[in-house]
């Protein structure tokens, strides 16, 4: 994106923002009955997406990476969050320069076993899955897979990711047992057991990269996730202090495979924990946050008819009303770092004992909300209508 484009975007953003701030209550009153969204609200959502995009790009390092979260003893994440942020950014227009810088940096910092929390940490399945998902999506978007070398690398990375799958359960391990003899990767460590949210992320990466390469791995991941769904409808997550993140990823993966019943069961649970006129909390408490609201919204939008629902309308309004002036969204402590000996950190007193950290730079949350609001605009027909009016 050129400086002129950024400047023009900011001028347009400021112009629309003035209307949005003064008319938020009016917007809320107008959305009723079978009416979906008026143009003023859709313009406000587009503004929010644009401001978020500018915030993210402005916080990218010159080398191409982003930093977010901070775990004492480990520092900030770079590889993992860069892959996650770049994937969400890559779905938007006018982001190629930023996304390409991120991809080049990720490829240059890859280790023999994949990618990790940062380049000096042991590689893990989640970080590697995020990179594979990004590369698969971007290579397809840019028609690069017609070139043999791009297809070869993507194929290689997909098989590298498959090495993290547990042959017994079909789930994906965060770390491979015994890697470098580290305490947290010993065979009895919970950091080396099958984990639902990572399995769902890996499954989504596989579906992006070419399911014909890894059909059996996808099938095994599907069976694992279905077996691990809580009777209430959600999935517990080892690494996240919520029931929303893993549930959102599992819904995305299973819906693409045609597994409608478990997805509808999950969405019924999501609807049951909605905070009226606002959004979603973490699935334990009812305090709404943008991160959980965006993830829940993404699950509802898997079925187009849900765009008419009160939950979608209320949560979209709540998100645009709660965006910070710089384009970010506020966050809270969301990433859980359990003791390796704790196998169910979500259970009872275990949850209170776990360290939980915040995405201190607000990039992870902002990328999540931005991506979901962009999906919402596409589903609403906003971009197709805008194109027809040009």
DSSP letter string, 176-241: -TTGGG-GGGSTT-GGGSEEHHHHHHHHHHHHHH-GGGSHHHHHHHHHHHHHH--TTS----SSBS
Which pLDDT does position 54 carry in this prediction? 99
85 or 16, which is more confident = 85
Structural domain range at position 130: 3-389
**Structure tokens given for 50:** 């644009």
pTM over 0.95: no
Which pLDDT does position 307 carry in this prediction? 94
* Cα first-last separation, the chain: 22
18: pLDDT strictly greater than 90: no
148: pLDDT strictly greater than 70: yes
Q: Is 342 exposed, middle or buried (0-12, 13-18, 19+ CB in 10 A)?
A: middle
Q: How far apart are CA 340 and CA 70, in angstroms?
A: 18
Q: What is the dihedral of CA 258, 246, 86, 333, to 10 degrees?
A: 160
Q: What is the mean pLDDT of residues 45-74?
A: 98
Q: What is the pLDDT of residues 194-239, one digit of tens each?
A: 999 999 999 999 999 988 889 999 999 999 999 999 999 999 999 9
User: Sorting pLDDT into bands at 50, 70 and 90, what band is 373?
Assistant: very high
341 or 147, which is more confident = 341
257 phi, psi to nearest 5 deg: -90, 0
**Least confident interval from 36-40, 94-98, 274-278, 345-349:** 36-40
181: pLDDT strictly greater than 80: no
Which DSSP category does 348 fall into? H
Residue 152 CA, distance from chain mean position = 26
User: Sorting pLDDT into bands at 50, 70 and 90, what band is 252?
Assistant: very high
Q: How far apart are CA 55 and CA 51, in angstroms?
A: 6
67: pLDDT strictly greater than 70: yes
Strands 75-77 vs 172-173: parallel, antiparallel or unpaired:
unpaired
Which pLDDT does position 63 carry in this prediction? 98
Q: Is 264 exposed, middle or buried (0-12, 13-18, 19+ CB in 10 A)?
A: middle
Q: Is 167 exposed, middle or buried (0-12, 13-18, 19+ CB in 10 A)?
A: exposed
CATH number for the domain that contains residue 384: 1.50.10.20
Q: What is the pLDDT of residues 305-346, one digit of tens each?
A: 999 899 999 999 999 999 999 999 999 999 999 999 999 999
- 71 and 116 in contact (C-beta within 8 Å)? no
**Structure tokens given for 237:** 């997550």
Which pLDDT does position 19 carry in this prediction? 44
CB atoms within 10 A of CB 275: 18
9: pLDDT strictly greater than 60: no
Average pLDDT for the chain: 90
The number of domains in the chain is 1
Q: What is the pLDDT of residues 266-315, one digit of tens each?
A: 999 999 999 999 999 999 999 999 999 999 999 999 999 999 899 999 99
Which pLDDT does position 183 carry in this prediction? 66
Q: What is the pLDDT of residues 170-179, one digit of tens each?
A: 999 999 988 6
**Structure tokens given for 101:** 């810088």
User: Sorting pLDDT into bands at 50, 70 and 90, what band is 25?
Assistant: very low
106: pLDDT strictly greater than 70: yes
Which pLDDT does position 210 carry in this prediction? 83
167: pLDDT strictly greater than 50: yes
């Amino acid at each position: 994106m050129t400086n002129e484009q950024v400047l023009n975007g900011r001028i347009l953003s400021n112009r629309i923002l003035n209307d949005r701030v003064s008319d938020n209550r009016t917007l809320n009153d107008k959305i009723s009955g079978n009416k979906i969204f008026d143009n003023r609200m859709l313009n406000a959502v587009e503004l929010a997406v644009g401001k978020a995009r500018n915030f993210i790009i402005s916080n990218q390092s010159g080398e191409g990476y982003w930093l977010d979260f901070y775990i004492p003893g480990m520092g900030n994440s770079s590889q993992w969050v860069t892959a996650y942020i770049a994937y969400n950014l890559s779905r938007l227009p006018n982001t190629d320069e930023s996304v390409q810088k991120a991809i080049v940096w990720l490829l240059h910092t890859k280790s023999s076993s994949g990618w990790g929390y940062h380049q000096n940490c042991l590689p893990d399945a989640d970080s590697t899955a995020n990179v594979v998902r990004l590369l698969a999506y971007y290579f397809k978007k840019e028609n690069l897979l017609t070139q043999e070398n791009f297809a070869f690398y993507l194929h290689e990375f997909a098989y590298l990711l498959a090495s993290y799958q547990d042959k017994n359960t079909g789930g994906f391990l965060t770390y491979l047992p015994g890697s470098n003899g580290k305490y947290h990767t010993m065979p009895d460590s919970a950091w080396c057991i099958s984990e639902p949210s990572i399995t769902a992320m890996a499954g989504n990466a596989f579906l992006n990269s070419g399911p014909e390469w890894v059909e059996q791995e996808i099938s095994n991941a599907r069976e694992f996730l279905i077996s691990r769904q809580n009777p209430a409808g959600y999935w517990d997550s080892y690494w996240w202090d919520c029931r929303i993140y893993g549930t959102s990823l599992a819904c995305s993966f299973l819906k693409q495979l045609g597994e409608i019943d478990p997805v509808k069961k999950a969405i019924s649970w999501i609807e049951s924990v909605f905070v009226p006129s606002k959004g979603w909390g973490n699935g334990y408490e009812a305090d709404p946050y943008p991160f959980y609201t965006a993830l829940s919204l993404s699950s509802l939008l898997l079925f187009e008819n849900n765009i008419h629902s009160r939950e979608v309308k209320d949560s979209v309004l709540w998100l645009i009303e709660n965006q910070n002036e710089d384009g970010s969204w506020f966050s809270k402590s969301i990433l859980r770092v359990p003791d390796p000996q704790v196998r169910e950190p979500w259970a009872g007193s275990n949850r209170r004992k776990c360290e939980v950290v915040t995405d201190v730079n607000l990039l992870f949350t902002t990328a999540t909300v931005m991506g979901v609001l962009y999906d919402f605009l596409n589903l609403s027909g906003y971009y197709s209508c805008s194109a027809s009016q040009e």
